[in-house]
Amino acid sequence: MEYTYLGRTGLKVSRLCLGTMNFGPFTSEADSHMIMDQALEYGINFFDTANTYGRKKGEGVTESIIGRWFAQGNGRRDKVVLATKVYGEMGDWPNTSRLSALHIRKACEDSLRRLQTDYIDLYQMHHIDRNTPWEEIWQAMERLVQDGKVIYVGSSNFAGWHIAQANEIAKSRNFMGLVSEQCIYNLTNRAVETDVLPAAQAYGLGILPWSPLAGGLLGGILQKEADGRRASESVQQRVNQLRPQLEAFEAFCKEIVEEPADVAVAWLLHQPAVTAPIIGPRLPEQLAASLRALELKFDEEQLKRLDEIWPGPGGPAPEAFAW
C-alpha cells in the first residue's frame, strides 16, 4: 500500500480511502466487518463515514456498524484514521442539523458513542452552512479539538471561496482550520478543477474525491449493458447522454487491457491535488479488485487521450473562462 500525507498535516493515510456508505443499506453487517478487516490486511488505514449514512434518519446505522467492529478489539481503532461528518438531518426537531455550535457539539458526542471511540481523527463538515457565522463554527470545533474529541477538521462539498473564507478566519483565530476537502471528482465531472482544487492546494488541503466511478458510469457500464445487466432508469439516461464518450473510454481501456473502474480511479491518483479517492465496495471481493488502480501508471500520451475523451473545464479559474 502507498501512503501520503493528508494535505499539509503530518498524518499519513493510504492512497485509497474506504468509503462506508453501503454499510447497512446494501452491505450486511457481517460483510461490512469482513470488508474492514480486509482493508487493514491490504494496508488501507483511512476509513470515511458520516452520521447520516444508513438511510434511517437519526439512527447513524453505518457509524454503529463501524463501532461494533471497533469493539472487537485487536487494535482495530488504533490502526484506522477515522473520518466522519456533521451537517445532515439527524431528527425533525430544530437544531438537529447544520452547523450551529449546539448541533456540532451534540452530533460529535452522538458519533463518538455510536463509533465506540473517544476521538475522531477527521471531523468533516458535510456541506457549507450559509446561516452560521464562521466564528461560531470555529469556536465549536476549537473546543472539540481542545477536549481531544477531534484531531483534524475537514470540509465536504465546499466551493473554493468557502475554503478560502474558512481558512482565513481560522488563521485569524490561530487555529489550523481545514486540512481536507471531500468533493465529487471523476472523469465525467471535473468542475472542481476551476476553483476548488487550486484553493485546496493553496491552503494545503488534501482532496478526497467521492464518486470516482460516477455512480457506476465509469465501471464498464456498456459492457455490463451488453451482458444483459440493466442500470437504473436515471443511470440509463446518463448513459444515453454520454454514450459516445463512454464508448471511447471503454475502447481505450480495452486497448491498454485494463478494467474501466481501475483506469478511472488511477486517473484520479495521477492528479496532484488528490490525496485518496474514496472507494465504496458493497462486497468483499470488490475491495480486492480496487487495489489494481494503485499499480496503474499512465504516460503523457495516455493522459492526453483521457483528457480528449473527458475534457475538463479548461483549467483553473479565471483561465478556464477568461484570458
CB count in 10 Å sphere of residue 108: 23
Query: Considering 5, 53, 119, 152, which one is annotated as catalytic?
Result: 53
- Distance, in Å, from the CA atom of 152 to the CA atom of 145, rounded to the nearest integer, reads 8
**Grid cell for residue 8:** 499539509
**Grid cell for residue 261:** 473502474
- b/e 40-54 (16+ beta carbons within 10 angstroms → b): bebebbbbbbbbbbb
Closest CA to 177 of 144, 201, 159, 203: 203
Sole residue written with cell 471528482:
185
- Classified as helix, coil or strand, 290 is helix
Backbone angles phi, psi at 304, to 5 degrees: -65, -40
The reply to whether 53 belongs to the active site is: yes
Please identify every residue annotated as catalytic.
53
